[in-house]
């Protein structure tokens, strides 16, 4: 059996261990970033979805008398705003509700994402927001009127 020459192996002992430790740390950081950035995207999508749902909830509040009489359908501004705000409160998010032109209800939602790994680096809450609008449309036979 031949033995390795002690002169050629000198200085290389443990070098693979340092490389593996460095590579493992880098991979852990990359996985942590992927988890937190994915979580932030999910929170952003949730904020947008909640804005859309609140806009739909408020958009169902019509002024009944003009709609029944065949006149232009209009939102009941107070009831629509209250319904959208109630939806946001029930969803535990902050937001604003505005009515534009009597037939468009706009909702803006703001929320926060609490990172799991970035928190270790001193990055706390990340703000996310979403917005949506619901427009009241009157149609007859599939055609907007």
For the entire predicted model, the pTM comes to 0.74
At 102 the pLDDT is 78
At 5 the pLDDT is 57
Counted domains in the chain: 1
Average the pLDDT over 76-91 and give the result: 93
Domain contains 88: yes
At 137 the pLDDT is 75
At 48 the pLDDT is 96
Domain contains 52: yes
Other Cβ atoms less than 10 A from the Cβ of 99: the count is 20
Domain contains 2: no
At 68 the pLDDT is 63
DSSP labels, 10-69: TT-TTHHHHHHHHHHHHHHHHHHHHHHHHHHHHHHHHHHHHHHHHHHHHHT-B-HHHHHT
Task: Give residue-wise pLDDT tens across range 19-29.
Answer: 888 999 899 88
Domain region containing 94: 16-144
* Residue for token pair 């749902």: 53
Indicate the pLDDT class of residue 82, thresholds 50, 70 and 90: very high
Other Cβ atoms less than 10 A from the Cβ of 117: the count is 17
Average the pLDDT over 9-20 and give the result: 71
Average the pLDDT over 78-97 and give the result: 94
Domain contains 23: yes
Domain contains 7: no
């Amino acid at each position: 059996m031949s033995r390795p020459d002690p002169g050629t192996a000198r200085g290389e002992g443990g070098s693979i261990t340092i490389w593996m430790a460095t590579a493992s740390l880098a991979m852990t950081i990359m996985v942590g970033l992927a988890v937190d950035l994915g979580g932030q995207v999910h929170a952003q999508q949730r904020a947008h979805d909640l804005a859309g749902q609140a806009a739909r909830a408020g958009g169902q509040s019509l002024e009944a008398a003009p709609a029944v009489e065949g006149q232009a359908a209009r939102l009941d501004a107070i009831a629509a705003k209250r319904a959208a705000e109630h939806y946001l409160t029930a969803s535990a998010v902050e937001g604003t509700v505005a009515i534009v032109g009597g037939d468009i209800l706009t909702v803006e939602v703001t929320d926060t994402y609490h990172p799991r790994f970035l928190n270790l680096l001193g990055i706390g809450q990340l703000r996310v927001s979403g917005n949506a609008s619901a427009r009241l449309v009157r149609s007859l036979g599939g055609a907007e009127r």
